[in-house]
Structure 1
Amino acid sequence: MTPSPERPARRAATKKATDVTTTFDPQSATIAVVTYNRSALLTRLLESIERMDPRPGHVVIVDNASSDDTTEVVEGFRSRLGSEIVYQRLDENTGGSGGFSEGMRLAYELGSEWIWLMDDDVEVLPDGLAAMGRWTPRFQSIQGRRYDYDGSEFYWQYRVSVPLGIPIPFAPAGFDESGYREMNSGCFEGMFIHRDIVRRIGLPDPRFFIYWDDTVYGYLASIITRSAIVDEFVLQRTREIRQWDMGTRHLNASSDMYRYYIMRNRGIMKHYYAAHGDYRPVRFAIGTAATFAKEIIRLAAVERRVTRKGWGNLWRGMRDGWRLAHDKAFEVMPALEEA
């Protein structure tokens, strides 16, 4: 699909119209959490929300069919948070993608002006909501910063090469006096987004299951509004992940399931880029090859094992991704309402 000559001007005009919002009201915000069999981590997160000042109006918890005591943990916090809890236990594990799609839907239907997404393996810093709120007059898609498990600064690759469909690893880590950098990606571990953007781009696509879902959602947001990562530390990871430390950058350990979806979901990503005139077949294929190579490096350098199963999941994911990319019946997620 070739973009029409008027597309860039239309995008620019749309962004200008959505850059200014009203005064931030913490009660208008909802924290939406996705959890799965990690009640101890969820407890730490809910305790951190209890310590927040200010707190959000609602806390939505989407439980991906946990088999532990997650339900009992949630019930124990109902009278403690000072925020209304909405708890939704799903009948099956829909992955992070399905969980965040459901969490976004519930938060939107509550009438939330701002929706703050996060996994269960983080804590919110006490002034986190206030820090994010300071940026709401300027942006409608915002990403705060987070500390890693050991207290070090976590670097998130906030810029994506759209033609390649991969993060840009050398995007600057530092901030200038403006206190923000424009981004064209997203991360569901901390995405802070206005309901108007959600209305116009629709819910996150649950078909991803895991991986690339937030990258694509952030890309969609950046098409219609200026998106920014801001120099505000608002979260801290509470789960240690084995990683290869490369200084500012790092490479986390993964799993065979992740390896499959990293490759498979590029087929879904292709459809979203094509729908917005940004799909370039040759360059996207190069990005897919680079993704495959990165996963081999991850196996060798971080997990120190290149197994037949690891290879097999990568190849199987690439095969299924090719099939998805060529599925003519595939449709991207619709807007929630007519703009």
Structure 2
Amino acid sequence: MTDETVAIVVVTYNRADLLARMLEGLAALERQPDAVIVVDNASTDHTPEVLAAAPVEQLEVLRSAENLGGAGGFHHGVREAYARGFDRVWLMDDDVLPAPDCLTVLMDTDEDCLMAVREDTAGHLVEKAATRFDLRNPLAIRPKTGMVETDFGSRDRMPERVELENVAFEGFMVRRRVIDAIGLPDPSYFIFYDDVDFAVRARRAGFRIWAVRDAVLVRQLDFDQQHDVSGWKGYYMYRNLFAVHLRYGENALVRLKPYLIAAMVVLLSPVRGGRGEAANVIRAMRDARGMRHAPARSVD
């Protein structure tokens, strides 16, 4: 494994100060990557200046002409890393800091799909990757029914490896053979659930996914998963959740669940999200139907 090559793919958009700290963390890694590919999603802040001054060797910048979203950015970056022949690709956002030995630990782990474990700046475990992701039970309104954070409470209570059923593209490492088998991240998600979709495809292709306890990423920001359901993020949250169920639901009742959720949201909208949420969920249900087929395997 020591002779395997690895490229880090980072997607960023208008978070230059976070990106600067993150790049300093990459420069401090014990085991240096063979390439760092930063996809700049048409940032309008001082991201170009940060990238120009970055203390990272082998840094390459792919600047998009428009904001592709996280999903489009990771599709673009992974495609570039794959085309250049790297053995492994390590994906991360611009708001994490890897421990100096994080890449060393991952590269010393002989598995095809790996997840670094996230802590907050106070050292608390905040790893929300799912240990159970239920696409079989139609009564499971939220398919994530278990996650590392709640299963273990702290990192020192974890075993050396924990098997996962989904991941975040924030510390996820994948070998080339997985991309050979299932293709690239799906850019049509824009934001949210592109990482879940990739994990489901990988597991269905026979690959196992492991969180590695001693590979640590520090999250610079607190998790904020409570988005405005009547705003633009609410649309993508609903649409992409529905798409995952329509694509990968293991029975007809699970595949019908998005329609039930949409109907319930519309009925309850006067006392929760209002007309904005109702409009979002109706449009999300319509558009998710156009995403119900998983992408064909492609590395183009």
Q: Is the 8 A contact 1:38 1:120 kept in 2?
A: yes
Q: Is the 8 A contact 1:200 1:336 kept in 2?
A: no
* Aligned mates of 2:100, 2:262 — CA distance in 1: 37
Aligned counterpart for 1:236 among listed residues 213, 218, 229 = 218
Post-superposition shift, 1:70? Answer: 1.2
* Aligned mates of 1:68, 1:207 — CA distance in 2: 25
Tell me the SS of whatever aligns to 1:203: coil
Tell me the SS of whatever aligns to 1:173: helix
* Aligned mates of 2:262, 2:122 — CA distance in 1: 27
CA distances 1:188-233 after superposition (whole Å, capped 9, x unpaired): 0111110110111100010111111110101111222122122124
Q: Is the 8 A contact 2:262 2:282 kept in 1?
A: no
Post-superposition shift, 1:332? Answer: 1.2
* Aligned mates of 1:149, 1:265 — CA distance in 2: 30
Q: Is the 8 A contact 1:63 1:89 kept in 2?
A: yes
2:89 counterpart of 1:115: yes
* Aligned mates of 1:85, 1:193 — CA distance in 2: 20
Tell me the SS of whatever aligns to 2:211: strand
Q: Is the 8 A contact 1:114 1:194 kept in 2?
A: yes
2:224 counterpart of 1:261: no
Q: Is the 8 A contact 2:41 2:64 kept in 1?
A: yes
* 1:196 corresponding residue in structure 2: 177
Post-superposition shift, 1:163? Answer: 2.6
* 1:51 corresponding residue in structure 2: 28
* 2:75 corresponding residue in structure 1: 101
Change (3 A) 1:52 1:230: same
Q: Is the 8 A contact 2:246 2:255 kept in 1?
A: no
Aligned counterpart for 2:41 among listed residues 64, 67, 70 = 64
Q: Give runs of aligned pairs for residues 56-95 of structure 1, distance below 5 A.
A: 56-77=33-54, 80-81=55-56, 83-95=57-69
CA distances 1:299-319 after superposition (whole Å, capped 9, x unpaired): x9xxxx744424432333223
Post-superposition shift, 1:155? Answer: 3.1
TM-score (norm 1): 0.75
* Aligned mates of 1:316, 1:287 — CA distance in 2: 12
CA distances 1:114-135 after superposition (whole Å, capped 9, x unpaired): 1110111111111110121232
2:6 counterpart of 1:29: yes
* Aligned mates of 1:47, 1:315 — CA distance in 2: 44
* 1:206 corresponding residue in structure 2: 187
Tell me the SS of whatever aligns to 1:106: helix
Q: Give runs of aligned pairs for residues 1-339 of structure 1, distance below 5 A.
A: 23-25=1-3, 28-77=5-54, 80-81=55-56, 83-135=57-109, 137=110, 139-158=111-130, 159-163=132-136, 166-169=143-146, 173-174=151-152, 178-223=159-204, 224-242=206-224, 252-255=225-228, 256-270=231-245, 272-273=247-248, 279-286=250-257, 289=260, 306-325=273-292, 332-336=295-299
* 1:17 corresponding residue in structure 2: none
CA distances 1:140-171 after superposition (whole Å, capped 9, x unpaired): 00112111254321031423113358212367
Change (3 A) 1:287 1:181: farther
Q: Is the 8 A contact 2:158 2:213 kept in 1?
A: no
* Aligned mates of 2:263, 2:24 — CA distance in 1: 39
Q: Is the 8 A contact 2:102 2:216 kept in 1?
A: yes
Residue 21 of structure 2 aligns with an amino acid whose one-letter code is R
**How many residue pairs end up in the alignment?**
285
Post-superposition shift, 1:87? Answer: 0.6
Identical counterparts, % of pairs: 29
Change (3 A) 1:88 1:162: same
Residue 211 of structure 1 aligns with an amino acid whose one-letter code is F
Residue 173 of structure 1 aligns with an amino acid whose one-letter code is D
TM-score (norm 2): 0.84
Stretches of structure 2 that go unaligned for 5 or more consecutive residues are: none
The CA RMSD measured in Å over matched residues stands at: 2.9
Q: Is the 8 A contact 1:267 1:321 kept in 2?
A: yes
Tell me the SS of whatever aligns to 1:318: helix
